[in-house]
A and B are shown apart, each in its own frame.
Chain A
């Protein structure tokens, strides 16, 4: 079956080693889609995830450290996005994810999708976010009290 994101700019993935502003990214994304001259999609769903200030064990968090697998991480996100777009009929997908040292309150992930209707947009966006959390090679280490601990897998939601 054809890849619905095969069109120019329909799939955008970016990893950031430094803090990024998700609203600036979203504005750029929307401008880039509009630049193609097509009418904007009727529905968009956006998710912004930020680092919370406590560890899984409830201690104050100094920072999260995000390791990834350069090359595979980006390729895997692209595969997950294409799968999700196929299943939900998404028209465009944008994924941004931090790597490196991320501070409490900073944005760690942005997932934005567009579709013709709200159902596909919201379901597709949620499914892609969950897929990223479990199927894209990222590893978190929580730093608290000067000690780093690798997080063993993700919470269910």
Chain B
């Protein structure tokens, strides 16, 4: 899918328990070009994931941990990460 010149695309990814609760793993959002840049916290609410981002959910932007309140650049990949349990 290619965004038209008048829109920008942001990809949202969910993992593990968050993915299963929401019933989806990835969404591509087309936003009108020139609209105020959304933050991850805005997208969390906009996508119906909840009113406010829970403290235990971490955010990554372009695969690096990031603030939930930073404006997202066009083309960004934002991921919501439930508590990590590796090793």
Interface size on B, residues (CB 8 A): 18
Knowing A72-B60, A137-B15, A139-B15, the reply to whether A153 touches B84 (Cβ < 8 A) is: yes
Residues of A within 8 A of B60 (CB): 69, 72, 137
Residue ID in chain B nearest A151 by CB atoms: B85
Residues of B within 8 A of A69 (CB): 13, 15, 60, 63, 79, 81
Q: Footprint of B on A, CB under 8 Å? A: 49, 66-69, 71-72, 75-76, 97, 108-109, 129, 132-141, 150-154
Could you name 20 residue pairs across A and B whose Cβ atoms are closer than 8 Å? Answer: A66-B86, A68-B86, A69-B13, A69-B60, A69-B63, A69-B79, A69-B81, A72-B60, A72-B63, A129-B87, A132-B87, A133-B86, A134-B84, A137-B86, A138-B85, A141-B16, A153-B56, A153-B83, A154-B84, A154-B87
> B33-45: contact bitstring with A at CB < 8 Å (1 yes, 0 no)?
0000000000000
In the docked arrangement, what's the CA distance between A132 and B83, Å? 13
Number of A-B pairs, beta carbon distance below 8 Å:
73
